Amino acid sequence: MNAVEVKGLRKSYGGFEAVRGIDFELRTGEVFGLLGPNGAGKTTTVEILVGYRRRSGGDVRVLGADPDRAGRSWRGRIGVVPQTGELFPNLTVLEHLELFAGYYEEPRPPREVLKLVGLEEKDGAKTRTLSGGQRRRLDLGVALVGNPELLFLDEPTTGFDPSARRAAWETIRALRALGKTILLTTHYIEEAHRLADRVAVLRRGEIVAFGTPADLIAQAPETIIRYRRNGEEVVLETEEPTRALHELTGQAMRDGFDLVGLEVHRPTLEEVYLSLTEGPSA
Amino acid sequence: MRVFLHQLRAEQKLFWRSRELAFFTFLLPILFFLLLGSAYGDDEINGVSGYQYLLAGMIGYGAASTTFAGLALLLVIRRESGVLKRLRATPLPPATYIAAVLASIILIFLVEAVILLAIGRFGFDVPLADSIASLVVVLLLGAASFAALGIGLTALIKSAEGSSAVVNALYLPLSFISGAFFSEDTFPKVLQVLAAVLPLSHLIKLTRDVMVFDDAVWEHLDNVAVLAAWGALGLVFAVRGFRWEPRER
């Protein structure tokens, strides 16, 4: 059974359509990435799936239930790391985990959660003394203490430095190994590539690409050729690099101009992502 | 019940650790009692000792500052910082949460009232009420009405930054006009009329009647009715306007 099923989901605020009829499903045990730039509708989608917002249209099933009508025991099976929001500045890390543990029937022991999110050393520290990255780890700990089957992580690493991001990725991999189903939103393609089994790319409320990270790269053009002419950068995308390059150099020799800074390369993840999210509307 | 007690304990810890909140809402009425008492406690006001007169005012002021101002501030700050929203994603039932928050702040007010009464009794020879039951009923009615108004007020406050300004601008003049600090008999007529409409003057009068004149609470059903009506108004605002989510940014 799928952990999440979304069919024709729509959400509008006043006249603005934030989500315009999207379909996807999360298979139990997978890490699914919702990838897209700010304002693409990622957070709105997550907030509908966890029951914070009501949808304007479409059908949603999360762990078999409609989030708008699901009750206490359903909430005990999901964990949410919101994109923004604080905790209690005057409670310690361990006190937070103990407080939230008390809301669940079968919590994971708070000490164990401390270890899972790498905050053992900080157990007695008040939240207001924590760094941004440590707070984010506590956010994750608070979501994990109920021992949820399904986790929603809304931009869990935004604002992290590279080493903190790598540490967070390790934690998310460890959660996957524990058998959790995870929906992750991010605007970092590398993050989706490293963590997600499958990815949906959102753009202005619509899914513009869907598949494994490798599928996404395969959808991109074979080869990119770049050079500068008269100070202008020229970018060519081609499926036939040999012919394109032959024609280009032939023309340059004939007309007597130089291909300044000539580069021939496979598209980077970054370029794949930009072509999906910034190109002309599909 | 287990979750309620769990939350109640957490609420107590959170209140006492928040020093500003604990100082301004809990300690200030006690300090004012000592301060104003030293100024005119030994005078005679409206035929009773200044301490006796002032004690009822400070208990009323305490109710407004803990269950009204303190509760409104605490809820707005939690709402705007996203804590309330996060709690909603857990299995903690909303009704249990609200019940624990209310029980906690009312408990804090009762502790404050007991301290004020004890200072009055043992420090300044203010006799306790004849009918303790009447006094308890008055205190609980006052606490409940102001708590309902406090939750209702959160619907009108948009941001955490502005919350303490709004709350202070309401409950400090309210306490003053209602005669918490000085007898309102010397106030201009217009303030006296205003005071007669506001809930705090009725709570202070009830407390005074029960403590100083040893009346029973049912001898003053008019005051009880006004106080309860304000509580009901607060409840309407609370039920209609209470939000778990912070303002959209």
Q: Which residues of B touch A (CB under 8 A)?
A: 2-3, 6-7, 10, 13-14, 17-18, 81-83, 85-86, 88-93, 245-246
Query: B38 is written with which tokens?
Result: 């030293």
Instruction: For residues A109 and A188, state if they share a domain.
Output: yes
**pLDDT tens-place string over residues A38-82:** 889 999 999 999 999 999 999 999 999 999 998 899 999 999 999
Instruction: For residues A195 and A228, state if they share a domain.
Output: no
Task: Give me the interface pTM, i.e. the ipTM.
Answer: 0.90
Query: A10 is written with which tokens?
Result: 């729509």
What residues in B contact A95, CB-CB < 8 Å? 13
Q: Is B90 in contact with A95 (Cβ distance < 8 A)?
A: no
Does residue A275 fall inside a structural domain?
A: no
The CATH number given to whatever domain includes residue A174 is 3.40.50.300
Residues of chain B with pLDDT under 70: 249
Instruction: For residues A177 and A229, state if they share a domain.
Output: no
Instruction: For residues A65 and A196, state if they share a domain.
Output: yes
Instruction: For residues A205 and A232, state if they share a domain.
Output: no
What residues in B contact A127, CB-CB < 8 Å? none
Q: CB-based contacts of B187: which residues, under 8 Å, 6+ apart? A: B177, B179, B195
- Cβ contacts from A onto B, under 8 A: 62
Query: Residue A281 has what pLDDT?
Result: 46
pTM over 0.90: no
- pLDDT bucket at A279, cuts 50 / 70 / 90: low
From A169, A188, A212, the end of a domain falls on A212
What residues in A contact B86, CB-CB < 8 Å? 80, 82, 85, 87, 142
Does residue A72 fall inside a structural domain?
A: yes
Instruction: For residues A164 and A100, state if they share a domain.
Output: yes
Domain total in chain A: 2
Mean pLDDT value across chain A:
90
Structural domain span for residue A235: 221-266
Q: Is A76 in contact with B91 (Cβ distance < 8 A)?
A: yes
Does residue A276 fall inside a structural domain?
A: no
CA atoms within 13 A on the CB side of B152: 14
What residues in A contact B7, CB-CB < 8 Å? 102
Q: Is B90 in contact with A100 (Cβ distance < 8 A)?
A: yes
Query: A79 is written with which tokens?
Result: 């964990």
Q: State the average pLDDT over residues A13-37.
A: 93
DSSP-assigned states of every residue in chain A:
-EEEEEEEEEEEETTEEEEEEEEEEEETT-EEEEE--TTSSHHHHHHHHTTSS--SEEEEEETTB-TTT--HHHHTTEEEE-SS----TTSBHHHHHHHHHTTSSSPPPHHHHHHHTT-GGGTTSBGGGS-HHHHHHHHHHHHHTT--SEEEEESTTTT--HHHHHHHHHHHHHHHHTT-EEEEEES-HHHHHHH-SEEEEEETTEEEEEE-HHHHHHHS-SEEEEEEETTEEEEEEES-HHHHHHHHHHHHHHHT---EEEEEEPPPHHHHHHHHHHSS--
